Amino acid sequence: MSETVLQLKGVTKLYNKGLAGEIQVLRGVDLRLKAGEMVALVAPSGAGKSTLLHIAGLLDTPDAGTVEIGGQQLSGKSDRQRTKARRQDIGFVYQFHHLLPEFSAEENIALPQMANGVSRGAAVARGQALLETVGVAHRAGHRPAELSGGEQQRVAFCRALANAPRILLADEPTGNLDPTTSDQVFDALMTLVRETGLAALVATHNMELAARMDRIVKLENGVLVAG
């Protein structure tokens, strides 16, 4: 039986909207994510997908409920403890690649590893291996501006997995791409997830891509329901 890597229990989030009063975005969200599992998160725009991903990724804190990674409760820990867990256990991918423009693809993947104490040689070698997995190793020396949109996003996937996290959180990772490129990039993402065995939670509007994942969860009125 696969290990539970990420678990949300009763997660609630409120926002103060001034004259509009408090808006309850999340109303007791429960979610269990297992190693090797790829889960689609589907919801209309503004329903709280990004908020949920930020809480799951320890970038934000819930007003109630808990976030556990590998069985350790982290939502109430100090900023330092949450930052350490985020750096070690979580990889993020967004709709836009956010690669550093002055560095090559290879360097963009090596830098997070070197910040974690990995030698340059080992960091470059891992970067090359990841780029090979997604079919863009031949573009390792190119800067982001020299890459296509699909190539940039594949490099961003590799950067997210550079430090071998246990969890990948992706917010509309193919939302900025045309349908053909979107399919190619999603194939690359699935390959990385399957080969590394990490747990992935992927927010998407694309129901065709969602259907290719292991299961779908929908955010409706602030709670998660099975797709």
Record the pTM. Answer: 0.86
Residue 156 lies in a domain: no
Dist. CA 208–CA 196, nearest whole Å: 23
At residue 49's C-alpha, the angle toward residues 45 and 51, to 5°, is 115
Which residue range is the domain that position 34 belongs to? Answer: 4-98+161-226
Residue 88 in domain: yes
User: pLDDT by residue (tens digit) across 111-141?
Assistant: 989 988 899 999 999 999 989 888 889 999 9
- Residue 96 phi, psi (nearest 5): -105, 140
Flag whether 47 is in a domain: yes
Q: Is residue 120 part of a domain?
A: no
Domain count for the chain, please give it: 1
Is the pLDDT at 227 greater than 60? The verdict is: no
Q: What is the CATH number of the domain that holds 184?
A: 3.40.50.300
Return left, alpha or beta for 69; rule: phi > 0 is left, psi -120 to 50 is alpha, else beta: beta
Is 192 inside any structural domain? yes
Is 189 within the bounds of a domain? yes
Q: What is the mean pLDDT of residues 185-196?
A: 82
Which stretches of the chain are assigned E, i.e. beta strand?
4-16, 22-34, 38-42, 64-69, 72-73, 90-93, 167-171, 199-203, 215-220, 223-226
Residue 21 tokens read as 């009063």
Residue 140 placed within a domain: no
Retrieve residue 148's tokens.
């296509």
- Establish if 110 belongs to a structural domain: no
Confidence of residue 209 (pLDDT cuts 50, 70, 90): confident
